[in-house]
Structure 1
């Protein structure tokens, strides 16, 4: 060991303020200085607004791609408290935009993870060339401007306000990112997915950049994940049964909820999407395993009770039962656990057992209550197994 290394002590530790740390190592906070990082910036701000709706404090979220290359995210909640106005009841505007949140993501099952993870608007502010925050609260409109994460002024009261809400407009810093362009289609796909996973959420996306004129879409799905399954099925074969099987239930043992929707089609491919706290889990995990175990248990129990399988017949495998299946498995947990740094695979033994039990119970009930539709599904599985 060299003398230089051996002489390292606390005096050599460099402590950076949040803004300095974020700008020095942006990839640590948004994952990349390419397109992916720009989208994470957007989703950090969108996530805060979405969670206002999920908490019952707001009714809608509006996302706008502005002509100057920026993004504006607005909600109609009560408005973030402004310290200068003496507001209380949560983090102030200044705290929201300059302090990193503590913990892995407050809110648990009641908070949607819109991006790769939750880091908050503080990161978006630090990595923006300019950010303008507007708060409408208690009849007054407040505005504060930031440049590269540094406040230009304190929040300023600029006049009376109609209604309430918070709007954050920002431009990704071209000195940080390789590109600052946002794709309407990429944003629309993820916002649509979040709306499908959170029944009742209303979110719009407007693009004011095209020379041919603005375009806008609004996402609102009262059916939740059932609507997601139906939309995925539109690209598959003819459904074997008209209705989408779906349920949502509380599972205290895993400290969360499980929501599942599924339908079989006349196809061979299996399409199962899994989510944890509204975030895709492309590598699956315990909720995916539990779903397949519960599905297999329900179908095999039905087949044996009706003597469609004899005592000598082996159980039908989950792979066989899953042929032609479209399903969405969404768990919302107070304390989600993941395997690996990418958080693409969910962990937690209790999640596996809870999801398996819930699927076995609810799918089993549907099979019992819908004999004609059950026959179409189970009969097809049995014919396929005997044919091979």
Structure 2
């Protein structure tokens, strides 16, 4: 270990900038928890991605080692190893020890890059207890080691450790040649141990975040192969049983990304918009004499957008600048959203009579309902707000993106091509329907606010409401058919249980438009009774009931109706499902009347499946008990009398309810989309594949 007397002026010059990073890490990486730890990893990975983006690499590998270190390999050109003339240091040392230094300034090496502040690698180095870098160039492998940003050599020769003896360079740094590289092979390997003096004890690398980022990057850089390997064996992770490895590789670009992100049935195909624009920017440039001069330079901004609309109402917009994600938006996203709204307003206004749009204006949320989009812009030296690069600040980009979107979208919506014309008509109808739905929800909410206790309610007449207004107690039973309603009226507790009958199978909202859904009497009544709106305007705090119970017959039709209802809740009242407030009643299939001796009433045993019935009968025979024949088989809720329905299905003291979780609703939606959706081919394949499992004697004839 070097003595303190060896600490000379040379060390001061190297650590001068990096000491500021160690004292104020939050200025550079945002925080010192897991988020900051992941940000350091992104900085190194982004350097490798920039090489691939510039066409100099096709593969990146990331290893999460069991000793807490992380290693990144790429097959790019490799960090320069020659001497940088101004500092007299090797390119490797400049990149890893000097702030605001790198190949992304001046536009010489990278025309469009995610790293523009030039602090990435040097900041990671400063915040690492140890960092090793190896570079393959010119048939040789060069290596250099750092401790907390200071170059030198560690004493270990086998397995590297951050606490091994370290000897800093005292006079001049040396970039060691540590091996030979194959002819034509280039690349960079970085391995580092995050400094636990800086980061919080609970900070750790998130494989889930790394996985999402790798998948995202593979979409944004077509042809790039990213390999992840987790060797930590952490409990609760994919690699807890041993090393876990994944490879991400996509050739379809952002169109494939949109297809991956979209999770609802399509209204339009994936549309792709391309364009570019130039702008002038005044930037300080250092001349040969070392003076900074404000110089006007011309920049080019390339815009690439993939988007599609689905039947849903949520917006999923991902924006990127030089493949760096900008989750908080910026000027590019502002231009995109403004152009969307402006274009739709103009087209709808021109077709107002045909679309029955009236005089109301559409808003941003109306256009964004069901939209899945990936927006990417590429430009040299983008101006971000802060080192974390979450918001693009270059103002000229807004106008360029807006022009590209406005022209491309106008052409698409006014296209006379058969396919485009049909999709455009469906899309415009959807946007107008969203506007009407929003206005209707607002009027309904304002009406509710104006009501007082003396005014009458406008709820459907077929609703048998409860007296209580305490949502912690109240329950809404959605009952299949009027016959079951009569029995349920007698079986319910009118204090807290409300009943709403529905006639058979409601609308298939999986492939129906919002307008069709709202105009359907059953769907509209159900939304009105729940009282919290629908879609984006749904406010769960306004819901009139604490529980919604789907009470359908225990047969195929009942299961079908329950699936239809679940799809309606999942698509338009999802918070009810997310908070576990939707249930399915479990009515019995059979009633076995066990004969008792003496003056006691016969005992009633209810069973809920054929297997359970056989088990009960076997147990009765074993105990020598007799039962009445024939055993009652309930074909529907209407066959029960009020006491039986109350005891088995409605009385909280005896009933069984199945809570519907979000995963159940998603599963039901997938099955329903398969069996009742507009895509015929998967349904045909499902029927053919399952035909052999069908028992002929179970078919009703």
In the alignment, is residue 366 of structure 1 matched against residue 389 of structure 2? Answer: no
Match of 2:254 in 1: 225
3-state DSSP of counterpart to 1:61: strand
Between the aligned partners of 1:363 and 1:284, the Cα distance in structure 2 is 21
Note if contact 1:255-1:335 (Cα within 8 Å) is conserved in structure 2: no
- The range that moved more, 57-66 or 287-296, is 287-296
Note if contact 1:80-1:91 (Cα within 8 Å) is conserved in structure 2: no
Between the aligned partners of 2:267 and 2:426, the Cα distance in structure 1 is 6
| Residues 287/159 of structure 1: CA separation in 2 closer, same or farther (3 Å cut) | closer
Please list the CA deviations of residues 171-210 of structure 1 after superposition, one character each: whole Å capped at 9, or x if unmatched.
1011221145211112222232233333343322211222
Note if contact 2:301-2:400 (Cα within 8 Å) is conserved in structure 1: no
Please list the CA deviations of residues 301-330 of structure 1 after superposition, one character each: whole Å capped at 9, or x if unmatched.
444555635897455433322222122222
What TM-score, normalized by structure 1, do the two folds share?
A: 0.83
In the alignment, is residue 193 of structure 1 matched against residue 219 of structure 2? Answer: no
Note if contact 2:338-2:402 (Cα within 8 Å) is conserved in structure 1: yes
Please list the CA deviations of residues 8-30 of structure 1 after superposition, one character each: whole Å capped at 9, or x if unmatched.
xxxxxx99612322223222222
Between the aligned partners of 1:170 and 1:342, the Cα distance in structure 2 is 20
User: How far is 1:338 from its partner?
Assistant: 4.8
| Residues 343/166 of structure 1: CA separation in 2 closer, same or farther (3 Å cut) | closer
Structure 2 residue corresponding to 1:157, chosen from 177, 185, 189 = 177
Between the aligned partners of 1:289 and 1:223, the Cα distance in structure 2 is 26
Match of 1:245 in 2: 271
Between the aligned partners of 2:369 and 2:361, the Cα distance in structure 1 is 15
| Residues 94/345 of structure 1: CA separation in 2 closer, same or farther (3 Å cut) | closer
| Residues 314/120 of structure 1: CA separation in 2 closer, same or farther (3 Å cut) | same
In the alignment, is residue 323 of structure 1 matched against residue 369 of structure 2? Answer: yes
Note if contact 2:276-2:400 (Cα within 8 Å) is conserved in structure 1: no
| Residues 187/118 of structure 1: CA separation in 2 closer, same or farther (3 Å cut) | farther
Note if contact 1:245-1:363 (Cα within 8 Å) is conserved in structure 2: no
Structure 2 residue corresponding to 1:112, chosen from 108, 111, 114 = 114
Matches within 5 A, 1:132-147: 132-147=132-147
User: How far is 1:340 from its partner?
Assistant: 7.2
| Residues 172/347 of structure 1: CA separation in 2 closer, same or farther (3 Å cut) | closer
Match of 1:286 in 2: 331
Please list the CA deviations of residues 255-305 of structure 1 after superposition, one character each: whole Å capped at 9, or x if unmatched.
311221211111122222333333333333332232223223433444455
User: How far is 1:112 from its partner?
Assistant: 2.3
Between the aligned partners of 1:56 and 1:102, the Cα distance in structure 2 is 22
**Unaligned regions of 5+ residues in structure 2, if any?**
1-11, 154-173, 234-239, 280-298, 441-701
| Residues 50/204 of structure 1: CA separation in 2 closer, same or farther (3 Å cut) | same
User: How far is 1:55 from its partner?
Assistant: 1.5
**Unaligned regions of 5+ residues in structure 1, if any?**
1-13
Match of 1:269 in 2: 314
What TM-score, normalized by structure 2, do the two folds share?
A: 0.48
- Identify which of structures 1 and 2 has the higher relative contact order when contacts are C-alpha pairs closer than 8 Å and 6+ apart: 1
Q: Which of the two has higher C-alpha Rg?
A: 2
Note if contact 1:60-1:202 (Cα within 8 Å) is conserved in structure 2: yes
- The range that moved more, 327-336 or 310-319, is 310-319
Note if contact 1:141-1:161 (Cα within 8 Å) is conserved in structure 2: yes
User: How far is 1:35 from its partner?
Assistant: 1.3
3-state DSSP of counterpart to 2:179: strand
User: How far is 1:354 from its partner?
Assistant: 1.8
| Residues 193/155 of structure 1: CA separation in 2 closer, same or farther (3 Å cut) | same
Between the aligned partners of 1:100 and 1:260, the Cα distance in structure 2 is 34
Match of 2:498 in 1: none
Match of 2:193 in 1: 171
In the alignment, is residue 212 of structure 1 matched against residue 241 of structure 2? Answer: yes
User: How far is 1:384 from its partner?
Assistant: 4.0
Cα RMSD over matched residues? 3.2
| Residues 365/177 of structure 1: CA separation in 2 closer, same or farther (3 Å cut) | same
Between the aligned partners of 1:345 and 1:96, the Cα distance in structure 2 is 25
Between the aligned partners of 2:308 and 2:84, the Cα distance in structure 1 is 53
Match of 2:445 in 1: none
3-state DSSP of counterpart to 2:52: helix
Structure 2 residue corresponding to 1:375, chosen from 402, 425, 431 = 425
- The range that moved more, 342-351 or 188-197, is 342-351
3-state DSSP of counterpart to 1:203: strand
Matches within 5 A, 1:334-373: 334-338=380-384, 344-367=390-413, 368=415, 369=417, 370-373=420-423
Matches within 5 A, 1:53-132: 53-83=52-82, 92-102=91-101, 106=105, 110-113=112-115, 119-132=119-132
Between the aligned partners of 2:338 and 2:24, the Cα distance in structure 1 is 43
User: How far is 1:129 from its partner?
Assistant: 1.3
Note if contact 1:304-1:310 (Cα within 8 Å) is conserved in structure 2: no
| Residues 67/265 of structure 1: CA separation in 2 closer, same or farther (3 Å cut) | same
Between the aligned partners of 2:398 and 2:84, the Cα distance in structure 1 is 48
